[in-house]
A and B are shown apart, each in its own frame.
Chain A
């Protein structure tokens, strides 16, 4: 078996090559333009953001020494005692960590429930009234855009210090974020079951219960789990503004230079976030896997 390479006549090759060359050049020009625009923006931002490389280089050794300082001084000979001293307040911190997780859970539960109720009013295929739909969507957008810490600051002022303002702040942000994602899921459903239920005389609520919810449930649960993980991280800093959880303790130990406390608390936060991350990821994969097999 022999193979041939067919060559085009030179003038045709030349035409194709010049066309290729100009196409590549156009792409290069566009990329260059984009890079220049980005560089100009970055330079402006660096000027506005008071970027000072000298300060950074001078500060960098401080970063490493800070990292070194917050690490506990563990000696092998007195490992048990040193470890106990590092986590001297472990039971107090564990309670605060439990409070943090509960703030995240209660906020997520509340937000997901309200967001789930609202999402049907925000999706174009179920809510025919354009005014009501726009109203729901704008309010979801508002809940989502104002950062949760800002809500927490306002609620701490109105309700007093404590975890409840944190719960409400997380719940409101969750309503906005999940409401939008749920509405997108609902808008992508198959409408035939809905028409089927309507044809048998089902009301709007029955249509949702028997035709919409079975289709969206696995995605809804998966998004909620993802949001729970994000909210745990958010709840860990709610204490910075006095809204409950372990954040207050962390802020205190950073501000007052209780070095080994900082690393102990950070380690506990990281461990719980990573654990929840792994757990929810496994749950989500199982949920979506079952959905895929159907």
Chain B
């Protein structure tokens, strides 16, 4: 048996001496790994305790959840189906217009925030921090703020989605612009093109497909966030969802969730088809 072993003819002692790291990883590195894992798990356990986690509560919660799920079947809209469909249409409208508005506003901003277009360190730094600040505020918070501006309704939702997307788009677009190939820009410069020509003919054709696919990707995810924006009163299907939950009409809740799932699946499918048509099978970063 030992003769058929592939390591039979190898001098193990000599190998161990030549490559000590492979046979016996240094204890320091081992300790480091163990310490990191212990710290992560420790913080997790501490967090669970601090947040008041208890298995009893979880058990009663799960049994109540079981009751709720039982009551969800069969899902039914009652007589409210037209209202729900209107809410769903509003949700789609919020996602579409919010994404478009954000893209239109973020496009020029991204050129200002891109290092290779505006080579001013101060402007670069300030515009990036400005975009970070906008991005740090969740869509629901923007929705609450815009309700104060334009009142309750889907218009506030559109502005909220647009606002939080300006930050994300500004960052993503400017990164796309910064990674653009410089040779086309040099080419335009060598024929005497102005700065605007360089952008129009050197940069835009390179970044447009990437930007379009990112916009589509965000349209998908905005459909998802637009379904809940109604919880704070900014239009869409979320209003009905939170109403039915607070009135404990679980069969209607289940129907609404299924409606959301189907819509998101359809949008996903369409937009991934479109994305592949625009840029081919490339991952969106």
Contact = CB atoms under 8 A, between A and B. Distances in A.
- Interface size class of chain B, counting residues whose CB lies under 8 Å from the partner chain: 35 or more
A162 B155 contact: no
Nearest to A53: B155
Task: Tell me whether chain A's interface is mostly helix, strand or loop, or mixed.
Answer: helix
B269 to A, nearest CB: 12
A94 interface: no
B177 interface: no
A16 interface: no
A115 interface: no
Interface of A: 38, 41-42, 44-46, 48-52, 55-56, 59-60, 62-63, 66, 99, 102-103, 105-106, 109-110, 142, 145-147, 149-150, 153-155, 157-160, 162-164, 167, 233-234, 236-237, 240-241, 244, 250-251, 254-255, 266, 269-270, 273-274, 277
B141 A250 contact: yes
A147 B225 contact: yes
Contacts of B153: 50
B92 interface: yes
B51 A237 contact: no
Nearest to A113: B44
Contacts of B200: none
B93 A155 contact: no
Given A145-B265, A154-B253, A270-B133, 8 more contacts: A102-B47, A102-B51, A153-B231, A158-B62, A158-B65, A159-B57, A160-B61, A270-B136
A153 B245 contact: yes
Contacts of A49: 90, 93-94, 97, 154-155, 157-158, 235
A66 B265 contact: no
B93 A46 contact: yes
B203 interface: no
A159 B228 contact: no
A233 B224 contact: no
A105 B154 CA distance: 33
B61 A147 contact: no
B46 to A, nearest CB: 8
Contacts of A99: 50-51
Nearest to A235: B138
Query: Which of A109, A158, A240: most chain B Cβ within 10 A?
Result: A158
Given A158-B64, A234-B138, A236-B138, A66 B145 contact: yes
B242 interface: yes
Interface in B52-80: 52-53, 57-58, 60-62, 64-65, 68
B38 interface: no
A38 to B, nearest CB: 8
B154 A154 contact: no
Nearest to A157: B245
A164 B52 contact: yes
Contact of B231 (A59, A109, A149): A149
A163 B145 CA distance: 24
Contacts of B155: 49-52, 55-56
Contacts of A106: 44, 47-48, 51
9 nearest interchain CB pairs?
Answer: A49-B93, A45-B93, A159-B61, A273-B136, A270-B136, A106-B47, A48-B93, A59-B149, A59-B150
A143 to B, nearest CB: 11
A265 B41 CA distance: 30
Interface in B119-154: 129, 132-133, 135-138, 140-141, 144-146, 148-151, 153-154
A233 B137 CA distance: 7
A163 B231 CA distance: 19
Contacts of A109: 40, 43-44, 47
